[in-house]
Amino acid sequence: MKTNEIMSRLQVKYPGEKEYLQAVQEVLESIEEVYNRHPEFEAAKIVERIVEPDRIFTFRVTWIDDRGEVQTNTGYRVQFNSAIGPYKGGLRFHRAVTPSMLKFLGFEQTFKNALTTLPMGGAKGGSDFNPVGKSDAEIMRFCQAFMWELWQCIGPDQDIPAGDVGVGSREIGYLYGMYKKLAREYNTGVLTGKGSTWGGSILRPEATGFGALYFTQHLLDKAGKTLVGKKIAISGFGNVAWGAATKATQLGAKVIAISGPDGVCHIPDGITPEMIAYMLEMRASNSDRVADMATRFPDKAQFTPGKKAWSIPCDIALPCAFQNELSEEDAVELKKNGCWCCCEVSNMGCQPGAIHYFQHNGVLFAPGKAVNAGGVATSGLEMTQNASHISWSAEEVDSKLHYIMKSIHEQCVRFGTQPDGTVDYVKGANIAGFMKVAQAMLEQGIV
Ligand code: 2IT
């Protein structure tokens, strides 16, 4: 296969699907060489098949806002690939959601899930519903209306959604409540990220951020460094940023910045447990404003409007917000200010130019599909607990999460070690994920 030829075909077929084409290009560039050593992949047209979702459901979601006005949004579920297990992946509620965004996320999810060591296929879904400024009652009515359509596409052995941007445990609660009413099925395994008293796994809320820091520890260890005393800049203040800030602080690092769409909060002495707890309140308020942190803790945090987390000098950058949030310009500024490591926690958080810059200027870099896989891995652990009607302790879940992140790091090293001994984590993650899915597709014939 030739990446350029496949990309040209996809560009004609899916013009304007920017995020999807970007995600596919990154994976194909990484795997081309290995792929071409396997004529059996070529014969079964694995690449042509793996870049296409199995199916996409699109549906209208109509609901009534607090003023009594009728509102209409669009809902989607992209079932991308089921070669290694049932469809699995989150739901994103954000005003910018498009089929392109969900296709990129479903494609990434397929390889990420393969890295977790657990049997899960890839999927993603969501809606262009904008949660910013919505009341709790509006969120509930929207979730119920969304599930009215979605329930027919999902099931505990078929497709298991979870949260993503704009969907946390509150939304999963409303979605699950409606699913039960419609399906008359009381198997908790249909969604993950549930509340801990009704089937949710302990540590699932923390898992993406915790897993990201465990991965970072392994990466630093391999490079002969440690987290202790390091300054960390985090973008975002949602669920993922919260988990990352919690674990980074526990492990002895200092989180000196968090950010939002309105600007950045500089926290020179490092974030405190009270401030970390306040991140949850900020997320629950649906105001999408990080400035509130500086208002609440004026002695500790200084807010600068319009600036990103990447403007604050740090050792390690952890993008935890949204795709393409870190540009090449940001990468240059980070490096100039002393940053020497970037672990991508958001899905495709770094633009291709930023990754290229990091990799060619001595900045350690690891991609989201490896770094953030602890979230979906713990969803997989939640599915296991649901299927066997048991509940594991925090210690049990944490040790399994630890083991999984170690294994993901090992897979990256195995497939990504370069002739000079350094590790290309992008290549490593993409090849490891791809080989597993491709091999499964091959063994299951032309379907
Ligand atoms: O991007 C992701 O991996 C998630 N949003 C979590 C998906 C899941 O099914 O837990």
What's the CA-to-centroid distance between 196 and ligand 1, angstroms?
18
Distance 371 CA to ligand 1 centre (A): 12
The residue whose CA is least distant from atom 3 of ligand 1 is: 376
pLDDT tens column, 350-366? 999 999 999 999 999 99
Three-state secondary structure call for residue 233: strand
| Cα–Cα distance measured from residue 29 to residue 33, given in angstroms and rounded to the nearest whole number | 8
379 lines ligand 1 (CB under 6 A): yes
Best residue for ligand 1 mutational test, from 77, 113, 190, 372 (most atoms within 8 Å of Cβ): 372
Q: Which helix (H) or strand (E) is 92 found in, with range?
A: strand 87-93
Q: How confident is the model at residue 187 (pLDDT cuts 50, 70, 90)?
A: confident
Ligand 1 centroid – CA 9 distance (Å): 29
Pocket test residue of 102, 109, 124, 408 for ligand 1, highest count of atoms within 8 A of CB? 109
Q: Is 349 in the pocket of ligand 1 (CB under 6 A)?
A: no
User: What are the backbone dihedrals phi and psi of residue 199, each rounded to the nearest 5 degrees, phi first?
Assistant: 105, -5
Confidence of residue 392 (pLDDT cuts 50, 70, 90): very high
Atom of ligand 1 nearest to the CA of 193: 10
pLDDT of residue 116: 98
Ligand 1 atom nearest to 92, measured from its CA = 5
- Is the CB of residue 401 less than 8 Å from the CB of residue 381? yes
Q: For the chain, what is the mean pLDDT? A: 98
The whole-number average pLDDT for the span 208-226 is 98
In this model, does residue 137 exceed pLDDT 90? yes
pLDDT at 200 (0 to 100): 98
For residue 347, report the distance from its CA to the centre of ligand 1, in Å. Answer: 10
CA of 162 to the centre of ligand 1 (A): 6
Tokens 């990799």 belong to: 359
Q: Which of 211, 136, 219, 204 is nearest to 171 (CA)?
A: 136
The single-letter DSSP state of residue 311 is G
Predicted confidence (pLDDT) per residue in 20-61, tens digit: 999 999 999 999 999 999 999 999 999 999 999 999 999 999
Check pocket membership of 344 for ligand 1, CB cut-off 6 A: no
> Parallel, antiparallel, or unpaired for β 316-318 and 254-260?
unpaired
Query: Can you tell me the distance from the alpha carbon of 270 to that of 257, in angstroms, rounded to the nearest whole number?
Result: 8
Length of the chain as a residue count: 447
This prediction has a pTM of 0.98
Q: Whose CA is nearest to atom 9 of ligand 1?
A: 89
Shortest-distance atom of ligand 1 to CA 347: 1
Query: φ, ψ for residue 317 (rounded to 5)?
Result: -105, 130
Question: Rounded to the nearest whole angstrom, what is the distance from the C-alpha of residue 379 to the centroid of ligand 1?
Answer: 8
For residue 412, give both structure tokens. Answer: 């990256």
- List Cβ neighbours of 255 (8 Å cut-off, separation of 6 or more): 232, 233, 234, 245, 248, 249, 267, 270, 271
User: Over pLDDT 90: what percentage of the chain?
Assistant: 99
Task: Report CA(183)–ligand 1 centroid distance (Å).
Answer: 23
State whether the beta carbon of 319 lies less than 6 angstroms from ligand 1.
no
Pairwise CA distance, residues 137 & 128, whole Å? 18
Amino acid at 302: Q
- Between the CA of residue 373 and those of 88, 140, 313, 387, what are the distances in Å? 12, 28, 27, 21
Q: Which residues pair with 365 in a beta bridge?
A: 342
pLDDT of residue 64: 98
d(CA 239, CA 320): 9
90 CB within 6 A, ligand 1: yes
pLDDT digits (tens, 9 = 90+) for 280-334: 999 999 899 999 999 999 999 999 999 999 999 999 999 999 999 999 999 999 9
pLDDT in tens, 62-79: 999 999 999 999 999 999
Q: What is the pLDDT of residues 295-308, one digit of tens each?
A: 999 999 999 999 99
Residue 77 contacts residue 86 (beta carbons within 8 Å): no
| DSSP 3-state of 201 | coil
Which ligand 1 atom minimizes the distance to the CA of 378?
10
Write the DSSP string, 32-70: HHHHTT-HHHHHTTHHHHHTS-SEEEEEEEEEE-TTS-E
How many Å apart are CA 408 and CA 107, to the nearest integer?
A: 18
What is the best residue among 104, 204, 323, 376 to mutate for testing ligand 1's pocket, by most ligand atoms within 8 Å of CB?
376
What is the phi/psi pair of residue 296, to 5°?
Answer: -75, -35
DSSP conformational letter for 200: P
What would the mean pLDDT of 109-124 be, rounded to a whole number?
A: 98
Domains detected in the chain = 1-51 (no CATH), 53-186 (3.40.50.10860), 207-371 (3.40.50.720)
Distant-in-sequence, close-in-space partners of 222: CB < 8 Å, separation ≥ 6 = 409, 413, 423
Q: What is the mean pLDDT of residues 392-415?
A: 98
Query: Is the pLDDT assigned to residue 391 strictly greater than 90?
Result: yes
Q: Which residue has the tokens 């060591």?
A: 117
**Contacts with 156 (C-beta within 8 Å, 6 or more apart), sequence order:** 187, 188, 189, 190, 383, 386, 387
Rounded to the nearest angstrom, the distance between the alpha carbon of 381 and the centre of ligand 1 is 13
Candidate of 104, 112, 171, 379 to mutate for ligand 1, largest count of ligand atoms within 8 Å of Cβ: 379
Is residue 21 within 8 Å of residue 413, measured between CB atoms? no
d(CA 414, CA 434): 14
Is the minimum distance from the CB of 323 to ligand 1 under 6 angstroms? no
The dihedral built from the CA positions of residue 338, 212, 154 and 86, taken in this order, carries a sign that is positive
Check if 124 is active-site: yes
- Alpha carbon 384 to its chain centroid, in Å, reads 21
Please identify, by atom number, the ligand 1 atom nearest to the C-alpha of residue 89.
Answer: 9
Catalytic residue (choose from 112, 124, 369, 436)? 124
Q: At what angle do helices 352-360 and 18-35 cross, to 10 degrees?
A: 40
